[in-house]
Amino acid sequence: MLNNSVLKVSPHGSFKVTQLCVSVAICEAVNGDRYGWGNSTETEPAFMVYLGCSQKEVASYIKTFNTFYRCEWCEVRKPKHLQGFEAEIKIRGMQRYSNANAFGLDYLVECEESKHFGADEDEYNYYTTGYMPRW
């Protein structure tokens, strides 16, 4: 697991990209929300999320971000920050911590760590959604 390893710092130091786990990185503004990402707080700066995944997972992830994370802006592109993936989803507007209204970055990182930690797909689905396939 790569935890909080800096991948890039902007030339003027106004943002940095940090990898939180194998498939999740964030681009964090140094001061406030000068880029209009809409998720800064009094104590924490705004951030953009990058999620690495396979092409077949993209539609499902975007639906999940729109429905459960309440993020309405996602862009799919070739991986720029997260290597070893077919696609990278760039997400704006995600909240940092989960609450009763929406999942947050904390939940995404926890789920992605479990997914890449060695759980097979059925086990991952069971622990994150409660879904158990019928045999």
Question: Alpha-carbon distance 98 to 105, whole Å?
Answer: 7
- pLDDT tens-place string over residues 32-71: 787 788 888 888 889 999 999 999 999 999 999 999 999 9
Closest C-alpha among 73, 77, 72, 83 to residue 23: 83
Instruction: For 60-91, give the DSSP string.
Output: HHHHHHHHTS---EEEEES-SSSTT-SEEEEE
- pLDDT tens-place string over residues 66-95: 999 999 899 999 999 998 999 999 999 999
Closest C-alpha among 28, 32, 33, 2 to residue 15: 28
Q: What is the pLDDT of residue 119?
A: 59
For the stretch 7-15, contacts whose Cβ atoms lie closer than 8 Å and that sit 24 or more positions apart, written own/partner, are: 7/81, 8/81
Question: Alpha-carbon distance 28 to 107, whole Å?
Answer: 18
Lookup: tokens for 28: 């964090």
pTM of the entire predicted model: 0.81
DSSP code at position 35: T
34 contacts: CB under 8 Å, gap ≥ 6: 14, 46
Question: Alpha-carbon distance 90 to 36, whole Å?
Answer: 15
